[in-house]
Amino acid sequence: QARDALAQVLAIRPDTAELSSGEEVPAEGVAVGTLILVKPGAKVPLDGHVEKGSSTLDESMLTGEHHISK
């Protein structure tokens, strides 16, 4: 079941990431430490932390729980 759940999460992961410069690049090629933009309503393509600003994320696809983290 865990393998199936992981496959489902990977299937909805975006293939591209938007760099802070506005350039869209393949997510798998983004180097650690690179700043990316995640606009409201967009899916988060990579792990990371918020460098500037704030928002909420729906993590229910990852956790199975139905609450929104900040």
CA dist 40 and 44 (Å) reads 10
Helical H segments across the chain, by residue range:
2-12, 60-63
The residue length of the chain stands at 70
For the purposes of burial, counting CB atoms within 10 Å of the CB of 68, is it exposed (0-12), middle (13-18) or buried (19 or more)?
exposed
pTM: 0.69
From first to last of its 70 residues, what are the pLDDT tens digits of the chain?
A: 778 877 877 777 789 999 999 999 999 999 999 999 998 888 889 888 888 888 888 877 667 776 555 5
